[in-house]
Chains A and B, each alone.
Chain A
Amino acid sequence: DQQVKQNSPSLSVQEGRISILNCDYTNSMFDYFLWYKKYPAEGPTFLISISSIKDKNEDGRFTVFLNKSAKHLSLHIVPSQPGDSAVYFCAASAGDGNQFYFGTGTSLTVIP
């Protein structure tokens, strides 16, 4: 039972444009969400987080939006750069410990 879903396995974007990565979840108890970037043969690198008391969080070129009623979150990268090409994972936790549920990832390719 996949509680966190990333329905787009891949996404291609031109350099300088906006990249939007989407994530849906089913468990209404989730209250803390994370985004990670992962290169092949490396561990995931933390990008940005958001708690359920907020609907938006920004960090430089990265912004995460949370729509609790739709159980949906998205990561916006503006402007996209070739170095952003990687697999992006979203993750969610219900706050009991640090057990996170991960999506299956979206592979982002930024075309120069």
Chain B
Amino acid sequence: KAGVTQTPRYLIKTRGQQVTLSCSPISGHRSVSWYQQTPGQGLQFLFEYFSETQRNKGNFPGRFSGRQFSNSRSEMNVSTLELGDSALYLCASSLREGGNTIYFGEGSWLTVV
């Protein structure tokens, strides 16, 4: 069974630009959540989607947004990039909507210059 797939794996963007990251969950998983990991920090929750609806949102500015499609694939978007947005962005999928183990993809490394 294929795991969580994230694309692209690495990207470099300039301040002020926007970026879209993609995530394909494990087959059959309907919940997708996104996390940001920066140096020295643990993983910070961004948002979670279940059945195309955002269920929870972390404490991030509105520049961070996401969506989920009917096939459970998800995208997250960061607009007006700042240097501090440089991070590893991790997508995780889960079978159900709560109280479940979440399984991570390899992540997308974003560098903002």
Contact A97 B106 (CB under 8 A): no
Q: Mark A71-111, 1 if CB is under 8 A from B, else 0.
A: 00000000000000000010101011111111111000000
Q: Which residue of A lies closest to B54 (CB)?
A: A97
Residue of A nearest to B107 (CB): A43
B33 contacts A104, CB within 8 Å? no
Chain A: residues with Cβ within 8 Å of the partner, total of 28
State whether A100 touches B103 (Cβ < 8 A): no
A3-55 CB contacts (< 8 Å) to partner B: 4, 31-32, 34, 36, 41-46, 49, 51
SS class, residues of chain B in contact with chain A: strand
Residues of B near A2 (CB, < 8 A) are: 42
Cβ < 8 Å to A, chain B residues 1-54: 4, 6, 31, 33, 35, 40-45, 48, 50
One of B62-70, B72-80, B92-100 at the interface = B92-100
CA distance A72 to B43 in the complex (A): 19
In the complex, A99→B45 CA distance in Å?
7
> Which of A4, A51, A98 has a CB less than 8 Å from the CB of B97?
A98
> Which A residues have a C-beta under 8 Å from some C-beta of B?
2, 4, 31-32, 34, 36, 41-46, 49, 51, 89, 91, 93, 95-105
